């Protein structure tokens, strides 16, 4: 086989399992559409048929997108990272929104061939028609919230409030499906799927987001690591969390006599050993809540949800690895380094920081490496070495051929490194990163 074709085939075989959950989610989303198409006959080739096609497809995509908002450990494992779940949630939601825009236009074009006045009525939210009015209400609400939450940049706390308010759009969609229901199997499937999505949305708001839901812990140690970074140790008050090295949890502080919590849960990487019942996390002041955590006191209680994370897939453990971390993003490497045996394949850790003083966890990583001959620590400081380019990384770790890459750090750094590695010929299946944790 031609070498380039063999390489493409090998990469497809390696990446297909990672893409399978998204394919399954998409197949579930289009089930109402395919059910309708199989029974539509010649109507499928008309404007009216195309309108029904886009309507069913939009409803299914929105419904599954809502289900992918759920913060469930089995979804995290299936998608190989909660960040990939949220990426799928976003992609299906955007696809559903685009189809939703086409739906009324296709209806109007179909009516235009019969009666122009009827086409105009479909393009205006007529309160006398529940079907038309509810459809337009759903469309306008989705349009409003899409512009606010997707097209605008805003602080996370404000974005979260608007994103939760998007439930009004889904409520309007359910109303539209109910009023338009004519007893068909496809319409029943679409209505059932959207109802399931709304229930998933409600579960996220009522059972996952509240800061009192989760395993109870108490803070036993607060250590100032740097001007904007604090290390916390938490002991279990009930059942201890079982986790794998390098995973993360959602953690929310509770009010105490000396501390007023922000009332939100946020993702933090676990930096301790999995056999330790205590949890260790590091928090950098990046926003309102994380700035607030800098003042937390010993004795404050917290609740934990998780664990999540797929940065270190089991299949990668038999090959040499390169871990590239930036800033506070190196924290997944602390927990993972603690379980590495001396006889495992080589591991090169590249610590990227603005300067030597910003490499707050460098000595911790060096301490692990002193006891492990297969582990080497490298640094790239922006003030003296520049940005972490491929040439800079190769000069430190040697050839990149046949190695697995674990990326952790700011999203812009991860995106730049992924593009550079792919351009250098590294298969996508060998590039691993934890993405989209915060949302």
Q: CATH number of the domain that 263 lies in?
A: 2.40.30.10
Residues 199 and 224 in one domain: no
Q: Looking at residue 8, what is its pLDDT?
A: 43
Residues 196 and 231 in one domain: no
pLDDT along the chain (439 residues), means of 10: 43 54 90 87 81 90 92 87 86 92 85 69 73 87 85 74 86 87 83 89 84 90 91 94 91 86 88 93 89 91 90 83 92 90 88 92 92 92 92 93 92 92 91 66
Cα angle: 326, vertex 158, 153; to 5 degrees: 60
5 located within any domain? no
2 located within any domain? no
Q: Looking at residue 51, what is its pLDDT?
A: 87
147 located within any domain? yes
* 279-284 β-sheet, strand order: 266-269, 248-253, 301-308, 215-226, 229-236, 279-284
6 located within any domain? no
Nearest to 351 by CA among 378, 386, 322: 378
Q: In which domain, by residue range, is 390 found?
A: 314-433
E strand map for 354-414: 375-381, 404-408
Residues 121 and 100 in one domain: yes
For strands 248-253 and 266-269, give the pairing.
antiparallel
9 located within any domain? no
Q: Looking at residue 367, what is its pLDDT?
A: 92
Residues 399 and 427 in one domain: yes
């Amino acid at each position: 086989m031609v070498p380039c074709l063999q390489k493409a085939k090998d990469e497809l075989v390696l990446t297909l399992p990672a893409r399978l959950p998204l394919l399954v989610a998409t197949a579930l989303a289009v089930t109402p559409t395919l059910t309708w198409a199989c029974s539509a006959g010649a109507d499928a080739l008309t404007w009216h048929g195309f309108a029904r096609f886009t309507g069913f497809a939009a409803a299914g995509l929105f419904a599954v997108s809502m289900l992918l908002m759920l913060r469930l450990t089995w979804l995290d494992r299936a998608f190989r990272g909660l960040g990939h779940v949220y990426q799928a949630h976003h992609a299906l939601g955007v696809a559903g929104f685009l189809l939703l825009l086409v739906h009324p236009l296709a209806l109007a074009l179909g009516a235009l061939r019969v009666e122009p006045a009827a086409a105009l009525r479909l393009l205006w939210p007529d309160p006398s028609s529940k079907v038309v009015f509810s459809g337009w209400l759903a469309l306008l609400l989705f349009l409003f919230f899409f512009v606010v939450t997707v097209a605008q940049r805003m602080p996370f706390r404000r974005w979260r409030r608007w994103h939760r308010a998007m439930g009004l759009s889904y409520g309007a969609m359910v109303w539209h499906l109910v009023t338009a229901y004519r007893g068909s199997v496809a319409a029943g499937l679409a209505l059932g799927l959207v109802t399931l999505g709304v229930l998933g949305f409600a579960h996220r708001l009522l059972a996952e987001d509240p800061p009192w839901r989760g395993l109870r812990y108490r803070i036993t140690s607060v250590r100032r690591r740097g001007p904007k970074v604090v290390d916390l140790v938490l002991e279990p008050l009930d059942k201890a969390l079982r986790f794998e090295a390098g995973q993360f949890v959602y953690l929310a502080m509770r009010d105490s006599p000396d501390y007023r919590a922000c009332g939100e849960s946020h993702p933090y990487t676990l930096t301790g050993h999995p056999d330790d019942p205590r949890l260790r996390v590091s928090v950098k002041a990046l926003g309102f809540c994380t700035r607030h955590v800098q003042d937390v006191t010993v004795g404050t209680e917290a609740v934990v949800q998780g664990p999540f994370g797929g940065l270190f897939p089991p299949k990668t453990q038999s090959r040499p690895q390169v871990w590239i971390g930036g800033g506070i993003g190196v924290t997944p490497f602390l927990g993972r380094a603690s379980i590495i045996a001396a006889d495992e394949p080589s591991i090169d850790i590249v610590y990227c920081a603005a300067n030597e003083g910003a490499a707050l966890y460098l000595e911790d990583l060096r301490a692990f490496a002193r006891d492990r001959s297969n582990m080497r620590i490298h640094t790239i400081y922006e003030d003296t070495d520049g940005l972490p380019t491929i040439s800079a990384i190769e000069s430190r770790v040697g050839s990149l051929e046949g190695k697995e890459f674990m990326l952790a750090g700011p999203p812009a750094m991860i995106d730049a490194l992924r593009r550079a590695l792919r351009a250098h010929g590294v298969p996508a299946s060998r590039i691993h990163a934890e993405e989209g944790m915060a949302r």
